[in-house]
Structure 1
Amino acid sequence: MSTPTLIELTSKKCVPCEGDVPPLSPDEAKALLEAVADWSLSHDGQRIRREWIAKNFMAGIDFFEKVAALAESEGHHPDLHLEGYRNVAIELWTHAAGGLTENDFILAAKINEIPIQLKRH
């Protein structure tokens, strides 16, 4: 199996899975991770995560609304975290598979295309 590129991931659509899809191997997950900038693999290799520092609370909420609309259209729903009023994090994993599938990387690639107003340093 060849590893999809970023362009290939963003052109794909998440496919429904009801537990009939096995999770990716650690090597497959690491290879796909290279296609989605700024996402990291959890220590147990079961999830991917990305963090942002939004400009303010409403910038974080606006970003989450856009992510929610995308997730709903893809039928694949991430865990969204907002802490300290502007620290935004998203975790992806395929609940039905008990780990990562290509769907997680498809959604991560598409989330990376959503603009977010960031805090200036």
Structure 2
Amino acid sequence: MSTPTLTELASKKCVPCEGGVPPLPPDEVEALIQTVSGWSLTADGKRIRREWKAKNFVAGLRFFDKVGELAEEEGHHPDLHIEGYRNVAVEIWTHAVGGLTENDFILAAKINEVPIEQKRS
């Protein structure tokens, strides 16, 4: 299997998953994680995560609103975290398989296109 590019991932649509399929093997996960800039594998290897520092609390909420709309369109829902009033993070995995599928990387690629207002240095 050749690893899709970021553009190819972002152009795909998440496919409904009811379980019964195995999660991606580690070698495929490692190849795909290289494609989605800014995302990393969690310590247990079952999720991908990205963190941002929003300009302020409201900017973080606006970002999550856009991510939520995207998640609804894709039918694939990530975990959203906000801490310290502007530190936002998104974690993605396919709940039905208890690990990672191509859907997770498709959603990550699409989230990378969502703008977030960040604090200027």
TM range (shorter): over 0.9
The root-mean-square deviation of aligned C-alpha atoms, in Å, is 0.6
Give the TM-score taking structure 2 as reference length.
0.98
**Structure 2 residue aligned with 1:25:** 25
Aligned equivalents of 1:48, 1:94: Cα separation in 2: 10
**Structure 2 residue aligned with 1:10:** 10
> Aligned with 1:97: secondary structure?
coil
Aligned length: 121
Superposition deviation, residue 21 in structure 1: 2.3
Identity %: 75
**Structure 2 residue aligned with 1:113:** 113
**Structure 2 residue aligned with 1:103:** 103
**Structure 2 residue aligned with 1:76:** 76
Aligned equivalents of 1:59, 1:21: Cα separation in 2: 37
**Structure 1 residue aligned with 2:66:** 66
Q: Does residue 42 of structure 2 align to residue 45 of structure 1?
A: no
Superposition deviation, residue 68 in structure 1: 0.1
Gap runs ≥5 in structure 2:
none
Gap runs ≥5 in structure 1:
none
Q: 4+ runs of 1 displaced by more than 6 Å?
A: none
**Structure 2 residue aligned with 1:35:** 35
Q: Does residue 86 of structure 2 align to residue 86 of structure 1?
A: yes
Superposition deviation, residue 31 in structure 1: 0.3
Cα deviations by residue, 1:63-100 (Å, 9 ceiling, x for unpaired) = 00000000000000000000111000000000001100
Superposition deviation, residue 52 in structure 1: 0.3
Cα deviations by residue, 1:16-45 (Å, 9 ceiling, x for unpaired) = 010122101111101001110000001111
**Structure 2 residue aligned with 1:55:** 55
> Aligned with 2:8: secondary structure?
helix
